[in-house]
Structure 1
Amino acid sequence: MPVVSGLLAGQVALVTGAGGGIGRGIALRFAEEGAAVAVHCRTSVEAAREVAARICGTGGRAVVLRAELTDEDACRRLVLEAAEWGEGRLTALVNNAGVQPTRELDAMTAAEWRAVVDANLSSVFACTQAAAGVMREIGGGSVTHIASIEATHPAPLHAHYCASKAAVVMHARSAALEYGPHGIRVNTVSPGLITRDGLAEAWPEGVRRWERAVPTGRLGRPEDIGDACVFLASPLASWITGHDLVVDGGVSARPTW
């Protein structure tokens, strides 16, 4: 069980792609630590409502907001809606929404490449830019992008995904440089393999390989990523920006030879 300490008391956070999986874990941990949470979804409306209901059922504040994040204008509307719901305040943004299709490079089309880049990178740019505009007015805030260990450890069939996540890491470092003077910190969290319903059945060989390789002996959990995001949005990380926090159970430390 997470340790609840009110680290984010008084904060208003927007978590994209918060209907399930990692996003759900992040939204719940933010709420447990005292933040009011705008729960974004694209199509998983019922799942997002369940997350919001769980937050409200334990005395927290949450709202469900829908948006297609491959649309730049929709990104801006989403951020403004979250800030309006927060009575003019948005102190934290977690850019979690993204896609992870598989495709061989030889067979990949430019349209398929662009679809992944738009979902994973362009949306991060647009949401962050819009959030920074709000955060400047209130004296600062924090932005956390969910990247991946595949930003530095590529996997077959994931060229578009790996490239987009590597770019997300560099976007955060660039944004940290430019937004720092405005009191806005920008970081990334790079997860390893995170468990989800049906994963062990759908990919048993991969799960077994991971469990053999990872020093901590298990897959990650959504709340592991939520904990990292809570830390980066909290006062404990007030002098941390432009950093990529790897949360992978130590698998990246494993020798490759």
Structure 2
Amino acid sequence: MARCAGCTPEVRYAEVNDVAFVHVRQPSEGPWALFTMTQMPNGKYTFQSDNGRYLARCNNCVVGSLQPDVAMMHETNPDSPWAQWDVVQLGGGASGDESAAAEERITIDGTEVLTGAVQVTLQWNAPVDLDLFVTDPNGDEVSYINTSVPSGGVLDVDARASCAATPETVENIVWQTNPPQGTYGVRVNYYTACDEGPVPYTATLRRGGQVVETWTGTLNVGESADHTFMAQ
């Protein structure tokens, strides 16, 4: 789903012609496919698009539509009820407290992270910015640039973005359930030195929270290291 500007010419409000269409194959194709999800005090969620407006129901806003209600990026107030949504995970999960209870978490170096069927965790011990990238067998990459992919992989924890003064030196990417079979690629990148030098790192593959494989190395700023693993 993505914002599409001017794709529906016959709208009742000419000043807002951003309709939600299913027209983007990969989230990385443009910011119009990325939404900021925020949970409201009532438990519902809002989705803010790259134009600053919120995804919202719009009644009779598209002339000639077969259905009266369409989804448009036209609302500026997240408190509007038509801009608030229930988020339900198929298969018995749900948003809010129910899904939080179903999530399995472990603590690594003082940071609480999600675990699951496939989990890759990056650890280091210096005030620098390292980044973790994991590519699934479909060629889709999870990272701080692209925080989720269609196969279910998500960036759970991102640390020290551009030398941010945070204590965490852990990054975590996870497929909680049903990871695709095939070869995965892991890349560790030394993004910013933050006035430091070479940095040792450890990247760990876990399945169901149990360590399966560990990779270690030392990087200089600007360098990357690549690793692979299989999921069957």
Q: Which TM class, normalised by the smaller chain length? A: under 0.3
Which structure would you say has the larger Rg?
Answer: 2
More strand by share: 2
TM-score, length of structure 1 as denominator length: 0.25
More helix by share: 1
